[in-house]
């Protein structure tokens, strides 16, 4: 199994949602799993939204009929990656930095 890799931080700057990550192109297309660590302080609700195909609509990523939420200081792993695009959405406008890591396909 490939070792975990550190990815660039995912930064949301004075907005309610971050940039769209494209999992159909490198470096994200090489990933089997991706993880997000919430910042130490996070008053907003941070959810993960995905788009199954480029050009389609985004919807919340769920598990057991509940939205996946990134909480302060906690890590959320998304595995396996079965979507084209991903973004983090906040319940309010803020500037937040999420650490990212992943595991490459071998």
Tens of pLDDT, residues 33-77: 999 999 999 999 999 999 999 988 999 999 999 999 999 999 999
- Residue 17 three-state SS: strand
- Are 37 and 75 within 8 A, CB to CB? yes
pLDDT of residue 18: 97
CATH topology of domain 4-104: Jelly Rolls (2.60.120)
Residue range 23-36, pLDDT digits in tens: 999 999 999 999 99
Tokens 């004075």 label which residue?
A: 14
């Amino acid at each position: 199994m490939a070792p975990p890799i550190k990815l660039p931080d995912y930064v949301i700057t004075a907005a309610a949602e971050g940039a769209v990550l494209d999992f159909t192109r490198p470096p994200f297309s090489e990933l089997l799993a991706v993880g997000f660590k919430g910042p130490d302080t996070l008053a907003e609700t941070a959810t993960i939204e995905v788009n199954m195909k480029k050009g389609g609509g985004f919807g919340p990523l769920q598990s057991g009929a509940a939205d996946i939420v990134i909480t302060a200081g906690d890590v959320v792993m998304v595995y396996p990656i079965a979507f084209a695009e991903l973004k983090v959405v906040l319940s309010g406008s803020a500037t937040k930095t999420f650490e990212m890591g992943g595991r490459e396909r071998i």
